[in-house]
Amino acid sequence: MQRSSKKNYQKDKLSVTFLKIPPALKSANFSCFVIGESLSFFGSWMTQIALVWLVYQLTNSAVLVGVAGFTNQAMGLIITPLVGVLLDRWNLRYVLLTTQLVSILLSATLTYLTINSNINVAWIIIIGTLQGIVKAFDLPARQVIIPRLVEKKADTYSAMASHSFLINTAKFVSPMIGGVMIARSGPASCFLMDAISYLPFLSAILTIHIKPVANQSFSQKAQIWTNLKEGFIFAYQFLPIKYALVLQIIICFMAMTHVNLIPIFAQEVLQGNAETMGFLMTASALGSIVAGLYLISGQKAPFLVKIMAFSATILGLSLMIFSRLNKLEVCLLLIFIIGMTNTLTLASINNFTQLVLVEEDKRGRVTSIFTTGFLGILPFGNLFFGALAGQIGVANSLLFGGTCCMIGAYYFTRQMPIIKKIVEPIYVEMGIISQPSK
């Protein structure tokens, strides 16, 4: 009887922990920002899906799909590290206001060109390049500002996990609606929705309170290139961040690029249409939602390194299996797992980095280095896998990417003892764990 009562108590406790509102979301300041942000991501994901589909319909070329994906994000590799230095100097509110206004203008231009049947690959590449420049400023600024919206340092993990969850919620809804809108109204409707989706975020940026950084003044006196060098040296010498960055680069190049191959896979392997693509994207995004729910429930900070290693391994294996399938029902299950493990890996890397980064004056630079790993490496992955799919087929390309993911996960797993030894004292100081394990 006592044993049964104890089990029931543990189940009730687990349920309460899972349903408990994360500490960061109890802050009206943080909630205002992250809800507005998630709405803007809703439109951004719809535009990404619509552009990939539009390029493939205009050209019927996997290579040009890769080129379009490359131009949309290539500027991230060139300017994002420099952006990190500027973000440590500039007013983040003004940066975000500017990026949202420019994004509205670009999405409105896409809408106008598409409605008037003047859209072509050249225009898509030009606007994609401009969007890439905006993202190089916008995404790092969003990441850097989050720890400055919460009142307590201990709430940083909760804030990052909540941020990832709400963004992935937008990612879940957008492909489902976007696929239907493309099939029934054309891609212009997605571009228009994107332009409108930035308005709530603009309102949030104007109303939030941002904590100042006390030790930021010294960086104003140093030269920009000196600050940039300091950021890279710190990221390289602090081994937990170094190894996390290596894993992120591998995942972004070898696995994240599967998103651009989904339209081709849907049409060539599954013999489907825009709605088939929408189903696959939705299943992937649903997996991201589940991953976000897992990360947001309870205190996962002490286990982030293990989560990274495990999820990266499963991601690689799932991609390999997915590449061998040709039935929609089974593909939906596998793409769900791919979406879940992809998000688990990248969100855990991001949360881990923001958590162990105790030197606040370097947050902008280190965050931008990681954003470079996403914005800068991803376009080269899109270009590479677009060309590879044109040579060996989309299925074999996915198989190759999954195999490389598993190799990367094995390398990271070998570094886990070193990472654990370094980060445990940081967790103790922050009050996340009571004492280092032996």
Q: Which domain holds residue 43?
A: 24-210+221-430
Domain-located, residue 12: no
Residues 146, 159 contacting (CB under 8 angstroms) = yes
Domain-located, residue 336: yes
Domain-located, residue 409: yes
Question: Which pLDDT does position 408 carry in this prediction?
Answer: 93
Q: Which of 411, 409, 274, 263 is nearest to 342 (CA)?
A: 409
Domain-located, residue 334: yes
Domain-located, residue 425: yes
CA angle (220 as vertex; 217, 226 as ends), nearest 5:
125
* Joined tokens for residue 24: 């960061």
Domain-located, residue 80: yes
Question: Which pLDDT does position 298 carry in this prediction?
Answer: 65
Dist CA 138 CA 167 (whole Å):
15
Question: Which pLDDT does position 72 carry in this prediction?
Answer: 66
| Model pLDDT for residues 34-81, shown as the tens digit of each residue | 888 888 888 887 887 788 788 878 887 767 776 776 766 666 667 777
Positions in the chain whose pLDDT score sits under 70: 1-22, 24, 62, 66, 69, 71-77, 152-155, 168, 171-172, 175-176, 213-222, 224, 298-299, 358, 360-361, 364, 373-376, 431, 435-438
| Model pLDDT for residues 160-176, shown as the tens digit of each residue | 777 777 776 776 677 66
CATH number for the domain including 143?
1.20.1250.20
Residue 20 DSSP class: S
Domain-located, residue 435: no
φ, ψ dihedrals at 60, nearest 5°: 55, 35
The neighbour count for residue 417, using CB atoms within 10 Å, is: 9
Dist CA 294 CA 18 (whole Å):
8
Q: In the chain, how many H helices and how many E strands?
A: 19, 0
Domain-located, residue 48: yes
Dist CA 273 CA 26 (whole Å):
42
Query: How many domains does the chain fold into?
Result: 1
* Joined tokens for residue 156: 């940083």
Question: Which pLDDT does position 33 carry in this prediction?
Answer: 87
Residues 6 or more apart whose CB falls under 8 angstroms from that of 181 comprise 46, 189, 190, 193
Question: Which pLDDT does position 15 carry in this prediction?
Answer: 44
